[in-house]
Chains A and B, each alone.
Chain A
């Protein structure tokens, strides 16, 4: 097969997005906040629509700011419902994201004649159009696809964020009380993580869609977690898986002519299922007298 620039660009962008989401997802999962990630990715919709309405374009700073604010608002609202109104956690997540998402959909419909924003585009995105949508400077210099740049920028942000705050993130994820005692602003770190999750959601929603971002946030970390328990291998495995699902997802989607983002998630789901089957507790008749009974090797 000859080298296909478009395919390469799509896979490259997909991998970037999958890795950024996966890295953040690892910490979300360790904090038992996977569903909060889901809630945020739904809740940014009204922010996107309002930002779009104010600025008139999908590529503006306003969209990112609007979505970021809504993401933080969602986190605060969940917290408020749980602590101040004393609703149980799962219900407060459910109420928050459905309300914000409903408002988003209503806004899309209200502003439909002013905003060229497709519900479906927001929901599942289309990474396949990426090579057409180039970033051209004023002197007509073609710098390549805009979304790839966005994804790259986001990737740099996420990696920088995790690199700089690694110790703090790890500590607050595993032992929040201890980190508070140590004097770390665990609430602030939590909010920072949520804001970067919202930012990632926004910058990915054009290509993979708001809902499938959730899959990239949750599934690769969950799969990696089935194979390892320590943090660094967890991050590495997540990254490898991100690249793999982008690669396989693209070619499978190309083969049956369907949504690339959806296919990436499906591939991730298959990986997850296989890992779960391998690492689940086996029924007795399968276990037999196999090497499972042997003691673990010490390194």
Chain B
């Protein structure tokens, strides 16, 4: 608890700096990542983040020490080479995109490992710090590093905000952008530059292997909550910043814990929660919506069966007869009967179930929609009368009052459906 207060009140200026850095970094990479996610190029970020390793090593060799400027430049250049190579290979060979990305990723990383091992064997004591690039350590970032990384992150955020319209075009409709005169190639190039930059500044905190998560996961998680670009970007940035701060907190409390993995775990937590509970596209929501719809259709089928029994001059159906109508669905049928009783649509009279007057009106509505649709299919779509039942069986639950009125008008309130059965309407008072 003490740690918690100490950390979150930012008494320690170095903590404040690190949190500021992580925030900027999170916002920057979430922005870039969301665009690349929408562009279906999420894994290119993974390839770039592995590909910067040789650049980091070369930058280190040239500077002779852990100089952030050399390292960032080296990382940027090798990321750029990887990006260029992947688009060149895609244009000029028959290899599929995922093969190209996996190839670039592993070859660059392998080469990076060769350089790293050679450096480690050279005995330079400064080399030890290079390992933090693989797993990341946000707490270990010095203030001068932070100035560089934070400044770059700020630059990324600014460019993306200023040129939001152009990047929106690039993601959603590049052909249209080209047609109305935007230099789409230059915009794509600029975007690639921003993406490489985001990766380069991220690896210090998150590490080479896990940087992909910082690009992909926030966008994917936020996508479940909204369909609009601006809220999407804001939400992705929010997820990313919160996970970043939580991850830093964990590695502050337990010093031997690397930051990167914890950030990723928190991010994934956000993502999984989003997949499950978000309204409209979440799994739970879809599950319940489907269940609700299924009970509704079953209820309406039951009403229809009772109405047909009435048409045939019977007083109602016994419970056993109803169960026999829907074999293997006994619990659902039982549930429907209870629901209909509660809605006051049916009456239970000594094992015999009959429609109430309210139930008759509702049953008439369903039967009317069913038969109207059959008539429509038969008359207007030229489908044989013996083929129209199945479609009507589904559409009867979906047709809206507006559509019903249109169908009624079109056939001028017909009396019979294609099977010569009456189309029921409530009597006018």
Contacts and interface: CB of A to CB of B under 8 A. Distances in A.
Interface in B85-141: 88-89, 91-96, 98-103, 105-118, 121, 131, 134-135
B188 interface: no
A158 interface: no
A95 interface: yes
Given A87-B275, A103-B261, A95 B220 contact: yes
A179 B418 CA distance: 43
Interface residues of A, number: 64
Nearest to B121: A257
Nearest to B37: A91
A215 B110 contact: yes
A214 B92 contact: no
Interface stretch (A10-18, A48-56, A141-149, A258-266): A258-266
Interface string A81-123: 1001111101111110111011101100100100000011001
B46 interface: yes
Contacts of B91: 281
A85 B424 CA distance: 43
B264 interface: yes
Contacts, number: 203
B212 A98 contact: yes
A276 B220 contact: no
A257 B99 contact: no
Contact of B118 (A92, A101, A222, A256): A256
B106 A29 contact: no
A299 interface: no
B93 A101 contact: no
Contact of B102 (A86, A214, A264): A214
A34 B117 contact: no
A248 B212 CA distance: 32
Interface stretch (A35-43, A130-138, A188-196, A233-241): A35-43
Given A94-B213, A257-B121, A219 B103 contact: yes
A218 B103 contact: yes
Interface in B256-281: 256-258, 260-262, 264-265, 268, 271, 275-276, 281
Size bracket, chain B contacts: 35 or more
A38 B102 contact: yes
Nearest to A34: B102
Contact of A95 (B99, B102, B213): B213
A120 B131 contact: yes
A81 B91 CA distance: 30
Interface string A209-230: 1011011011101100110000
A262 B210 contact: no
Contacts of A95: 213, 216-217, 220, 268, 271
B95 A226 contact: yes
Contacts of B271: 95
B43 interface: yes
B429 interface: no
**Ordered nearest first, which 8 A-B pairs have the shortest CB separation?**
A265-B110, A269-B107, A215-B106, A98-B213, A262-B113, A280-B92, A102-B261, A94-B216
Interface of B: 37, 40-43, 45-46, 50, 88-89, 91-96, 98-103, 105-118, 121, 131, 134-135, 209-210, 212-213, 215-217, 219-220, 256-258, 260-262, 264-265, 268, 271, 275-276, 281, 283
